[in-house]
Each structure stands twice: as structure tokens, then as C-alpha cells.
Amino acid sequence: METFGQEKIQKALLRILKKSNFGHAVIFFGHDEFAAAALAEWFGQMLLCEERAQLEPCGVCQNCQNRFKTPAVVFPQLDLLSNGSGIDAVRELKSKMALKNLTDSNRVIFLKNIHNFKAAAANALLKILEEPGEKVYFVMTANSLRNVLPTISSRAMHLVVQSVPRKVMSAELAKRGLKKSDIELALELFPGQLAKAVNFFKNEANIEQIKADYRLATDLLKAPNRKRFAETERLLKKQESGTQREQVRRLLELVLIRLRQEAKYNNFLQALLKAFRDLKTNANPKQIFESLLIQLP
Ligand SMILES: [Zn+2]
């Protein structure tokens, strides 16, 4: 099963499974949506597999056979709810779970993009999570833990999905028909984020414009001040203010991406974000600001 360079987490999870000290819920979150979904799929299948000797499900036990041959909807050991699922789907799941598990095998419930569940559905899910029943496991994905209801996240093990390695990412993008120059741009704009890169090239209408802006943003950061102003003058002079606003917004985003690629700026950005978070706690505000000043690049 393709997991986009997540072997380290897979090995750790396999050790946990072998020791049988896995609770009953896990949330995969972080860098890349594709990798999170793939890991969830892999882990769900590992929970169902009766063998589990290797890093891959065996493919021959009864559950593996069922899973790979039968669509999930008719495979009784497996349920899937995603961000579109409302409270009715959760209620249906609840009544299904009340039925006795006839096969004595594990039962897996995938909860995809748990951060997008509406409050009513999430609260109904919570009731199920609180009393899951024997051999019932919840495998969830989320974009960030901060967007998940704390009452749900506190009942699960948290696993940060690693960024997709460069090599894996360029191979995947090539498989999807991207040109070499586009792959290079994708690797710069979305390092380690395969899903974002794929969606960008699928949906973005102004790719040529963005490429030009990105080159400009890169040049501007390197250029001396006089050249920066001359370039900006040339670029924005003839445009009306609405277009200017849009282009400046995009340039700001690209400058941010460029800054993130440079360690010293990226470290400072992280420190800045941390300062915002610290400010919400009881920490000393003067100290927060002073420690930030020390880290100014
Ligand atoms: Zn198996």
C-alpha cells in the first residue's frame, strides 16, 4: 500500500500493534492530506488483518480478502464517515454498532477529515467514542489538531504525518502528468505537501502568472532596494487598483513562501506564531515580546 514516505510511523505503529497496547482511537494529522489518508487506510487494514507480521496487510486472511474484494459499504467490519456525514449518518452508525459483532474480528470506523464535522455530528460521535465496545477502533484524519473538538482529540492517540519526501513527491507528480518545470515549481511552493501541490495544478487557472510572480518574488528578495522599487514600478504601474490589489496579495503570499524556505526566516516565523499562542496563556507579555526581539533575523 502506497503511504507516501510514512514508513517511520508505520514501523512505530506496527510495534504498538504487536504489543497490543493501542487504545481504540487514533488521529493522523499534519503536513499532507494524501499521506494522512493513506496512513489511515493502511492502519485500518492492519487492524483488520489477522496476520500483521510485516509492514503490509497479508492480503490472504479472510478480512484482507473481504476488504480488497468487497466495497466497504457491504463489508460489515468497516465503516466510513467523512466530512459530508451529518448527524443521521452518525446515528445510523450507532445503531449498527449496537448489533452484535458476529465474527469476533476487529471492527474499524474511519472518520475522515474529522475537523470538518459539524458540531451536532461531532457531539454524537463523541458518545460513540466514549463507549466504543470491544474490538472497535476509530481511525481518524484531520488537517490540524487545533481544529478538532478537544473532547474528541483527548480520546485519541495523535500521530503527526511526516512531510512527503522530495523523491516520492516528484515521482507522484510525474505519475499525474506534470511537466518537469511544474514539478520543480511544486516542490518549491509546497515542499512535502503532495495534496496541496496536486490540487494547485488541478485548480489554478493562472499558473503562468504565478510562475512569473514567483520568479519576481525570488528576485526581489535578492535585489538591492533601488532595483526592488524599479521592478515594482514596472510591474504595477499600468494596472488598475483592483488588479493591483490582487497581484500584491499574491506577491505577499509568494514572499511568505520564499521566506519559509530559508531557515533563519522560517525559525523566526515559527517564533512569531508561538508568541501569538503564548499571549493567550498566562505568560508574561513583556517577556514574550522581548524573547521574540532576540530572535529577529
Ligand atoms: Zn490479512
> Which one, of 97, 30, 22, lies nearest residue 52 by Cα?
22
Radius of gyration of the chain (CA): 24
Q: Ligand 1 is a single-atom ion; what residues have CB below 5 A from it?
A: 49, 51, 57-58, 61, 64
Give the Å distance between the CA of 99 and the centre of ligand 1: 24
As a whole number of angstroms, the distance between CA 116 and CA 297 comes to 37
Given a cut of 60, is residue 74 above it in pLDDT?
A: no
pLDDT tens, residue by residue, 133-169: 888 899 999 999 988 999 999 999 999 999 999 999 9
Identity of the residue numbered 74 = V
Residue whose C-alpha cell is 485548480: 203
Reported as a pLDDT band with limits 50, 70 and 90, residue 4 is very high
> Which one, of 133, 122, 36, lies nearest residue 87 by Cα?
122
Give the Å distance between the CA of 68 and the centre of ligand 1: 10
Given a cut of 80, is residue 67 above it in pLDDT?
A: no
**What local confidence, expressed as pLDDT, does residue 223 receive?**
86
Reported as a pLDDT band with limits 50, 70 and 90, residue 101 is low
Give the Å distance between the CA of 77 and the centre of ligand 1: 13
Q: What average pLDDT does range 47-62 have in this prediction?
A: 88
- Whether residue 119 contacts residue 86, with contact meaning beta carbons closer than 8 Å, is answered with no
Question: Which stretch of 34-43, 120-129, 144-153, 203-212 has the lowest confidence by average pLDDT?
Answer: 203-212
- Whether residue 26 contacts residue 138, with contact meaning beta carbons closer than 8 Å, is answered with yes
As a whole number of angstroms, the distance between CA 52 and CA 63 comes to 12
**What local confidence, expressed as pLDDT, does residue 245 receive?**
86
As a whole number of angstroms, the distance between CA 55 and CA 10 comes to 7
Give the Å distance between the CA of 19 and the centre of ligand 1: 18
- Whether residue 90 contacts residue 125, with contact meaning beta carbons closer than 8 Å, is answered with yes
pLDDT tens, residue by residue, 266-284: 888 888 988 998 888 878 8
What is the CA angle 159-139-134, rounded to 5?
A: 120
Give the Å distance between the CA of 51 and the centre of ligand 1: 5
- Whether residue 94 contacts residue 127, with contact meaning beta carbons closer than 8 Å, is answered with yes
- Whether residue 213 contacts residue 251, with contact meaning beta carbons closer than 8 Å, is answered with yes
Give the Å distance between the CA of 60 and the centre of ligand 1: 5
**What local confidence, expressed as pLDDT, does residue 51 receive?**
86
Query: What pTM, to 2 d.p., does this model score?
Result: 0.78
Residue whose C-alpha cell is 496476520: 51
**What local confidence, expressed as pLDDT, does residue 163 receive?**
92
CA dihedral over 74, 79, 85, 87, signed as positive or negative: positive
- For residue 188, give Cα distances in angstroms to 3, 167, 219, 265: 22, 13, 15, 16
